[in-house]
Amino acid sequence: MVQDALPADRRPSMADVAREAGVSGQTVSRVVNGRVNVDDATRQRVLDAMHRVGYRPNSAARALRNGQFHSLGVIMSTLATVGNSRTLNAIASAAVPRGYSITLMPVGHTTQGEVTGAFSRLNEQLVDGVVVLIDEHELDHSEIQLPHGLPVVVIDSNPRSDYPMVDTDQAQGAELATTHLLDLGHRTVHHLAGPRHSYAAEHREKSWRATLARHGRQVPEPLSGDWSAESGHTLGTTLARNPSVTAIFAANDQMALGLLRALHEHGRRVPHDISVVGFDDTDESAHFWPPLTTIRQSFAEVGRRAVDTLLTEITSGAHEPTSINVPTTLVTRSSTAAPPPRTPS
C-alpha cells in the first residue's frame, strides 16, 4: 500500500493537501488564509485534508512570497540585568498578540564590530524590524552600518539617535528619588551610579545632580558601579564607612541590594542611620531587608510603546524619529526615613 513516491521525510506542502482534497493549491491557500469566496463544503473538505496529512504552512515560502516575516528582532547586550530581562518580556508580550514573534540577537561585548555584525546577521535572520536594547555609548560614535531600510526603534539609548526612541523617563525618576530624600530632611543625597558608558545611568546621575543643585545642596562625588549587586556591595562599603552619609540613591535595585548588605555589615541601620532609594522596582525589592523604597518604571509600557512604534514604522513605511518618555512613580517602603538627629560636635 504505497502512498506515493515522495521522500518520506518531506513536510507536506499545499500541493499535497490539494491532491488529498481534490482541489487546486490555490483553494487550499484561500482556506488557510481565511479568504471568503470558498464554498463551505469545500472549505471543510480542505480542512479535513490538512488535518489528515498534517499540513503546516511553510513560512519561509510565505515570507519569500509576500516579503514579510512577522518577526521582530531584539538586539541586546545581555539578559543578565533585571531591566533587560523584563523589557524583553514586555516586548514579547506586546508583539505576540499582534502576530509577531521575537528573534533574539545577543551581542557579547559591545564593540562596534560586534554590533554591526549582529545587525547584519539579524537582517539575514528573517525579521521585519529591530528593537535595539543596547544602552551603550559605543552605539553612538560608531558609524553603525544599519541595514538600509530596516525599521528600527531604540530603547534607552543615544539621545542624538536618528531612530525613533522609547525610554523610561530617567530624569523624572531620578528627580523623584532625590526629592523624596530631600523632603525627608536629608541635607544631601549620595549617588551609587550605573556604569559610565550607559545612557540610562548618565541621565539618572545628571538629574540627581541637577535636583541637588536646584535645591542649593552640595553635590557629593558619585560612585560608578556596573548595575550588579556585587558592585553595589563594593562601592557601598566605601559609603558605609563615611559617617556623614545619611541618604543614598542607588541607580538600580540590584546595586541597592549590595549596598544594603554593606550597610548591615558595618552596622549602619537602615533607615534609622541611612536612607536608601533604588530604581526599577524589581519584584524582589519589596522583600529586601528592609523593604526598599524605589522608583518604579513601567517596563511593560516601554515594551508596548516600542513594539507599537516599530509596527507603525513597518506597516506605514514612515520613520520619523519620534521620542517617547514613559514616566515613573515613587514606591515608598521602609528603607527611607528622616535623618538621625545631628550629633552635637
Phi, psi of 121 (to 5 degrees): -60, -40
Q: Which does 41 bind (CB under 5 to 8 A by kind): DNA, a copy of itself, none?
A: DNA
Instruction: Please state the closest distance from residue 129 (CB atom) to DNA, in A.
Output: 18
Q: Does 315 bind DNA (CB under 7 A)?
A: no
Q: How many CB atoms lie within 10 A of CB 337?
A: 21
Q: Is 50 helix (H, G, I), strand (E, B) or coil?
A: helix
Q: Does 318 bind a copy of itself (CB under 8 A)?
A: no
Q: Which does 25 bind (CB under 5 to 8 A by kind): DNA, a copy of itself, none?
A: DNA
Amino acid identity of 188?
T
Q: Interface with DNA by CB under 7 A: which range of 15-23, 113-121, 140-148, 211-219?
A: 15-23
Helix intervals (H) in the chain? 14-21, 25-32, 40-53, 59-66, 82-95, 112-124, 138-141, 170-183, 199-214, 229-241, 253-265, 299-316
All three cell numbers of 277: 532609594
Amino acid identity of 63?
A
Q: How far apart are CA 200 and CA 58, in angstroms?
A: 41
Kind of pairing between the strands at 165-168 and 223-224:
unpaired
Instruction: Please state the closest distance from residue 166 (CB atom) to DNA, in A.
Output: 31
Q: Does 61 bind DNA (CB under 7 A)?
A: yes
Q: Does 89 bind a copy of itself (CB under 8 A)?
A: yes
Q: Which is nearer to DNA, 7 or 344 (CB)?
A: 7
DSSP summary character for residue 335: S
Q: Does 39 bind DNA (CB under 7 A)?
A: yes
By CB under 8 A, name the one of 54, 159, 321, 327 that touches a copy of itself: 54
Q: Does 103 bind DNA (CB under 7 A)?
A: no
Q: Which does 32 bind (CB under 5 to 8 A by kind): a copy of itself, DNA, none?
A: DNA
By CB under 8 A, name the one of 191, 203, 204, 261 that touches a copy of itself: 261
Q: CA separation (Å) from 233 to 178, 201, 222, 261, 278? A: 21, 18, 15, 7, 14
Residue with cell 490555490: 26
Q: Does 229 bind a copy of itself (CB under 8 A)?
A: yes
All three cell numbers of 280: 526599577
Q: Does 293 bind a copy of itself (CB under 8 A)?
A: no
Instruction: Please state the closest distance from residue 97 (CB atom) to DNA, in A.
Output: 20
Q: Does 214 bind DNA (CB under 7 A)?
A: no
Q: At what angle do helices 229-241 and 253-265 cross, to 10 degrees?
A: 40
- What is the Cβ-side half-sphere exposure of residue 65, based on CA atoms within 13 angstroms? 7
Q: Which does 334 bind (CB under 5 to 8 A by kind): DNA, a copy of itself, none?
A: none
Binding residues (CB under 7 A) for DNA: these are 10-11, 13-15, 22-27, 29-30, 32-33, 36-39, 41-43, 57-58, 61-62, 64-66
Binding residues (CB under 8 A) for a copy of itself: these are 9, 11, 54, 56-64, 69-71, 78-80, 85-86, 88-89, 92-93, 96, 101-106, 120-126, 147-149, 228-230, 232-233, 254, 257-258, 260-261, 264, 283-284, 286-289, 291, 317
